[in-house]
Amino acid sequence: MNAFLQKSELPDWRIMMDNPSDAIPALKTAISEASENISAIKSLEDSKLTFENSIRALDRSTLLLDKIWTALNHLQSVADSDSLRDAITKTTPEVSEFYSNIYIDEILYSKIAAFAASDKARSLSGDQKRLLEETLLDFEESGANLPKEKKRELVEIDKELTLKTQKFSENVLDSTMAFVLHITDSKDLSGLPPTAVALASKKAEQKGLKGWCFTLEQPSYVPFMEYADSQELRKRMWEAFTSVASSGKFDNYPLISEILELRKRKSIILGESSFADMILKRRMAKDGKTALNFISELHDKFESAFIREGDSLKNFAVSRGYLKDGDSLNPWDVPYFSEKMRQSECDFDAEALRPYFPLDAVLGGMFKIFGILFGVSVREEPLTAPAWDDSVRLYSVSDKSGSKLGFFYADFFPRTVKRSGAWMNMLSPSFDGTPAAGIIAANISEGVNGVPPLLSHDEVETLFHEFGHLIHFFLMDSPELGLREVAWDFVELPSQIMENWTKNRDALNIFAKHWQSGAPIPQSLYDAYKRAEKFMGASGTMRQLSFAKIDLEMHIHPELFIGKNIEAAAEEILKPYTRKLSVKVPSILPRFTHLFGDSVGYAAGYYSYKWAEVLDADAFSKFEAEGILNPKVGGEFAQKILRVGNSVDPQMAFQDFMGRPPKLDALVARTIN
């Protein structure tokens, strides 16, 4: 049997890994099935059209194709191999072309339009009416009304974008994994926390080396830059990190120009002034100008605090003898000095919290909190079929009645064949009684020498964030699958708001227990953490705003970058968002997979993180006022925000929960003193 055509609810992923070439005939089968489903709609007489056999049928026409394509790309993200890449490369043009052709099919569009003009359509209400409206917009915004030659050009552009963005991601992964800092002298470990040293020892052992190996993966890189006393080695790590995918065989700069050019061409064909305007029409911001104004408004609110924080850090470095008066800060010293300053001013060392966050306790507490708020229960399940790695665990999620909402895989530890960062992905939706399937992935430092995996507070926040995404998608209960796609500047609200429960004493008392003694976080340590909570808050915000700014500028004014010196253009635009340091700091662009590692991704939409953060800070104020573990408020949030998906306009959904439009004030107050 074809490995990618398994019928079981939870497939055998090892068979797919071992037989990636099976994806090629499986995708052909799925495309054939989807084509037949669409042909059935096109063959209907106008008088026989109904919501079920046209709109809903189209909405579900590609389910098998979606599932196989998702599985193949998922495997590349967690178990990358040459054979998987080969399968994706060979199938991408045909799959991309098929998807692109759906919403420019004249006959199909005529059937959807004919139904939309019928009395049956005019009598629709609720989710069915909303799906019809959204489907019509899908056709219109995809170019269904364009001449045939323009449609063909759009299809070719989409194929090219899919291939180029895939190559961009591969370059980032390969370049990241190509660097290893191998240390053999224990003196070079000075300042590093035990967890970082233990992980480096394990990395070296895995590579058959003596000593310690540090990589550019986040669990290795971040502690090294914050704690390693050796300035020389911090500089080597920084130079390697900031040069990822920026030269040689992994150089992504040419791809950036090519991707921007293709996106520009696509927006012109579709009659939009920019790619940003094209992408944002159906999001809360509506257009690129509004998103840019939002970023500028936040910049102005944080600018003075950002300048103060930079001056304070420099003065601290001088006062402690790290820096000579009059010298500029080195970028590889900034994280190190910042951590020293935080420890000095707040009497807080972030590593002191790590022993209170053993992975299993964090998971258990997280599941309990989500259960209190949203009435879901989570239980670990035995794997009914092999996952892609032995470390992967399986969980089920049920509602109050005990009905299964879905299953999710948990893949928490770094591997050389796994992409960096953390993410949530839906592998298949729930429909017609079939539970959903998803994954939460992260790159957490593994436990060594009998010590369980101990998380940093940032990693705890990340888990709550990604689980927020998962529960959002599990709870969306519209019978129309197309209404479970949420505007990208709203979709981060359900995830980002959950990070607040990792900062509150009442919530922490549920799960933050010392891995050996079981004792809760001492009050003195918690007080120190709260003192440090806003430490360098404006700096962190400005960094995110800089990413959003360059994203929007690139997709509103691509002519400033295409075929030009991309770094020089970015440097000029980002001057108000960055500090002057001893050397020029390369931009994130050649490794910015959010923007260029997917044919759409967060392109022209990175501002969504801050947009949603405004929403989450504002919405959390209601929990603070009425009880952060108040099931009544949690139930309202679930009912009015999580369940509705895209069946309700996101602005209206937020106002339904809060009783008013969102305000910026809560975010500013939460971030800076």
- List pLDDT tens digits, range 458-506: 999 999 999 999 999 999 999 999 999 898 889 999 999 999 999 999 9
Tell me the percentage of the chain whose pLDDT exceeds 70.
100
**Could you read off the pLDDT of 363-398 as tens digits, one per residue?**
999 999 999 999 999 999 999 999 999 999 999 999
Q: How far apart are CA 561 and CA 35, in angstroms?
A: 39
Residue 447 above 90 pLDDT? no
What does the pLDDT average to over 288-314?
A: 97
Contact present, 259 and 563 (Cβ < 8 Å): no
Helices 334-346 and 218-227 cross at an angle (nearest 10°) of 70
Looking at residue 419, its pLDDT comes to: 87
Three-state secondary structure call for residue 6: coil
Q: Is 381 a catalytic residue?
A: no
Residue among 655, 654, 664, 652 nearest 614 (CA):
664
Helices 82-102 and 63-78 cross at an angle (nearest 10°) of 150
pTM for the model stands at 0.86
Contact present, 566 and 290 (Cβ < 8 Å): no
Q: How far apart are CA 139 and CA 132, in angstroms?
A: 11
Spell out the residues 6+ positions from residue 50 whose beta carbon is closer than 8 angstroms to its own: 115, 120
Residue among 476, 486, 391, 500 nearest 442 (CA):
391
Q: How confident is the model at residue 630 (pLDDT cuts 50, 70, 90)?
A: very high
Looking at residue 195, its pLDDT comes to: 87
- Strands 212-214 and 181-183 come out as antiparallel
Looking at residue 240, its pLDDT comes to: 98
Helices 106-116 and 23-42 cross at an angle (nearest 10°) of 50
What does the pLDDT average to over 20-48?
A: 97
Helices 106-116 and 126-142 cross at an angle (nearest 10°) of 150
Going from N- to C-terminal start, the domains of the chain cover 3-145, 179-231
**Could you read off the pLDDT of 172-203 as tens digits, one per residue?**
999 999 999 999 999 999 999 998 999 899 99
Q: Which CATH class is domain 3-145?
A: mainly alpha
Burial classification of residue 559, based on how many CB atoms lie within 10 Å of its CB (0-12 exposed, 13-18 middle, 19 or more buried): exposed
Contact present, 495 and 468 (Cβ < 8 Å): yes
Residue 599 above 80 pLDDT? no
Reading phi first (left if > 0) and then psi (alpha if -120 to 50, else beta), residue 584 is in beta
Residue 618 above 80 pLDDT? yes
Residue 545 above 80 pLDDT? yes
Q: How confident is the model at residue 433 (pLDDT cuts 50, 70, 90)?
A: confident
Three-state secondary structure call for residue 441: strand
Q: How confident is the model at residue 95 (pLDDT cuts 50, 70, 90)?
A: very high
Looking at residue 524, its pLDDT comes to: 96
What does the pLDDT average to over 400-420?
A: 93
Q: How confident is the model at residue 559 (pLDDT cuts 50, 70, 90)?
A: very high
Contact present, 385 and 12 (Cβ < 8 Å): yes
> Which value, in Å, is the radius of gyration of the alpha carbons in the chain?
25
Q: Which residues pair with 358 in a beta bridge?
A: 454
Q: How far apart are CA 193 and CA 199, in angstroms?
A: 10
Contact present, 241 and 175 (Cβ < 8 Å): no
- Strands 404-411 and 436-441 come out as parallel
Contact present, 16 and 48 (Cβ < 8 Å): no
Looking at residue 664, its pLDDT comes to: 87
What does the pLDDT average to over 509-530?
A: 96
Q: How far apart are CA 411 and CA 184, in angstroms?
A: 31
Give long-range contacts, CB 8 A cutoff, 24+ apart: 232-241.
Answer: 233/181, 233/183, 233/188, 234/332, 234/333, 234/336, 235/330, 235/332, 236/181, 237/181, 237/332, 238/331, 238/332, 239/332, 240/179, 240/181, 240/216, 241/216
Q: How far apart are CA 455 and CA 359, in angstroms?
A: 6
What are the DSSP E strand ranges found in 488-620?
A: none
Q: How far apart are CA 582 and CA 272, in angstroms?
A: 41
Contact present, 58 and 108 (Cβ < 8 Å): yes
Residue among 504, 196, 511, 522 nearest 360 (CA):
511
According to DSSP, residue 642 is labeled: I
Sign of CA dihedral 664, 665, 671, 673: positive
Looking at residue 601, its pLDDT comes to: 78
Residue among 373, 380, 442, 371 nearest 412 (CA):
442
Q: Which of 258, 351, 466, 492 is catalytic?
A: 466
Residue with tokens 């989409």: 158
Contact present, 474 and 405 (Cβ < 8 Å): yes
Total residue length of the chain: 673
Q: How far apart are CA 671 and CA 499, in angstroms?
A: 14
Q: How far apart are CA 340 and CA 344, in angstroms?
A: 6
